[in-house]
Structure formats: structure tokens, C-alpha cells
Amino acid sequence: MTPDTDTASARSSGVPTIVKNAASSHFSAVDLAAGEVVADLGEGRYPHTALFHPTEPVAYLLYIASAHLEVVDLDRLETVQRIDRLGTMPVGSALGPDGDVLFVGTAVDLPASSDPGVLAFAIGEDGRLEPAGTRPLSRSSGMRIGPDDRLYVGQKTENEIAVLGADPGLDLEAEIPVGAEPHDLYVLAEGLVVANHAGGSSASFVDPATERVRCTAETGVDPHGFAVADGPDYRYGLFPAREDDRVAVVDLEAVAAGDDSPTERLLEVGTTTGFAATTPDGRYAVVDSYEEPFVTMLDLTDLTVAGRVEVGGEPLHVVFGPDGQECYVGNMERTDLAVLDTRPLADDRPTDVTVGRRIDGLGAKPSGIFRPEVDQ
């Protein structure tokens, strides 16, 4: 089942965005353009992640506490399959490069083992799942399909990244030492895998060809999330930090060259942060806050704080729409999404950005926003 880019793009335009409600039992399907919740999806404890199949009208919803996943038909907006045997604390998921395998990683044990590890599920033509393989490892965290079409899995207690074959065999092909407690994994267009380190103040950039860390960047304490800004004359990677008031701005050209100190600046933003999002032109970023009721805008052309927007509660997770005219903000204290009108950023007027509207009717702590054109 090889994804077709044109089909996937056309389908995503009519597929709702999915929002996780961290303190409720369900996800919410949201029509962002209409500004309304169109359905509650799933039933379980601690909704965590959503993945969209690249060609089929299907999403995969993962729950941590109830340790199950659901296959959702996005045309009917209902669950068509539930998989309960995931072990304990499934925390990561990824779709294989051809869209025919789903991988799930556990932080504690596998269904038939006392060890954590990775499960593989074969995906049928209708998007439904069949158990297909397991690989015991150590405590798993984030996972991604790398630029070489292999599966990269953070190993939090081993301080390494396991590299597996992206098929039901799950052959262990490499174990790459990185920094303390690799947490989130991302893939760069430069052909590198990025790991931020929840147990320290750094991020590693791994070269799949050599199976080694090409360089390490300094970040704030407990980096979390990652965003790329393609600006007029720069290419930056942004790392928020859960226990630090600084956002790391990393020069990705220096990373590609293997520079020993690729961090351009640790930018003081006045609050701890969890996620960042960047405008399509790469000139501005928005970061959330763990402790304050506002989001902060960063001017990336001169690496300064450009302004703040009061949204209320504890804003967590920020996602721009594809045209950059709106930014959607989750929240840990409210049951709505704040929608920022970010059109003034195109005219370099960051102080004129405001909350243009709100999308009500979500569950408790709507703090993860998954868009079909991004989260495949």
C-alpha cells in the first residue's frame, strides 16, 4: 500500500483535525474552518497521539493509561477496530514508509514480555490492523521513520536510539548512543534524525549513514518539541524547554556541517515552554507556556521577543494553519482552542496579533493538535 502524494493531499483537505483531550476519555474531531467540533472519537484513559493514514480515510488513536489504540473511519467518524493488547504505557507510534505497517512503542512491558519494546501491526486495505511482530528493547519514548526508511526509537534508560527494520520482523540494526533520556524524535530535510534530551540540556543530530551523532546542540533544561524555520537567509531549529525560560535557536546549516557549537542563541522568553510553531516564511515563531496565560511571538530575523498574546489558562501546543494566517493554541486549563489571527505577521506587525476566535466544545485539557496534512 504505497502512499500517493496527490491522493493524500486531496483527501487531507476534507479530513478533520484531531485534538487530544488529555484529561478526558476521548479525542475531538474539529473542523477548523467552520470552527466547530464535529465528533468525539474514541473511549479510554489518557488520549495521547493521532496518526493519519496517507491514503485511506483512517486515523489511529493511541491511549497511554488504558493501553489501547483505536482505528477510526474518518468518513463515518467512528471507531471500526480496537486493539487492547499493547502492554503497559504505549507512548510512541509511527507509520511505516509505505503505509502498510503501524508501529507502537511501550515505556513499560510488552503484552507477552516483562520488557518494554516495539509492536508491529500489518495494515490491511481498509486500514484495519493485524498483530505482526514484536521486538523487546528497553523503555521506549518517541519514534520516527528515518530518511533511510528505517524505524528510529528513543531508548530513555539506555540513552540511545535503537534502529530497527521498518517491517514486522523489527530486526535490530543499530544502537546509537546519544544524550540523557532521548524523548522526542524528528527528521530533518538534511537527512538527519533529531533527538531532544529530557534528562539534560541538549539535542543530538544523528547521521543515519554513519549511525553516529553528527553534532550536539545546547538547549534549555528539559528540551521538548522542535520546529524548523526556513527564513530569508537562515534555517533554524527551535527547541522549547519545560524547565527553562530559554528557547534554543540552532543553526541547521552549522548542524549539517558538523559544527561543534551550532546553537545560535538561547533566547530568553520569560516562561517555560513546550512547543513552538513557525510561519511559512520562517520569519516568526509562536511558543506556548507552561506557567503563564499567554503565548510569545519571536522575531527570528533578529532573535528577539516580538510580543505576547493573552489566551488565558495554560496554553500548551501551538500549530499554524497551512497559509500562516491563523495559529491554533491548545490549553491545559480550558476546554477550547484559541485561534490567533496571525495575518499581521505578514506585514511585520506582531503586536497586532490577537485571539480572533475560539473553538468551543472540546474535552478537558485539549493539548495536542494533529493535522492530517502534517501528522502522517
Any idea of the CA torsion for 265, 339, 317, 73, to the nearest 10 degrees? -140
Tell me the β-bridge partners of 95: 102
Query: How, if at all, do strands 90-95 and 101-106 pair?
Result: antiparallel
Question: Is the pLDDT confidence value at 42 over 90?
Answer: yes
pLDDT at residue 375, as a whole number: 60
- pTM of this prediction exceeds 0.75: yes
Rounded to 5 degrees, what are φ and ψ at 156?
-70, -40
End-to-end, the C-alpha distance of the chain in Å comes to: 14
- 191-217: average pLDDT: 97
Least confident of 35-39, 48-52, 328-332, 371-375: 371-375
Query: How, if at all, do strands 68-73 and 182-187 pair?
Result: unpaired
Confidence of residue 376 (pLDDT cuts 50, 70, 90): low
- 220-230: average pLDDT: 97
Q: What is the pLDDT of residues 239-251, one digit of tens each?
A: 999 999 999 999 9
Report which of residues 75 and 13 the model is more confident about: 75
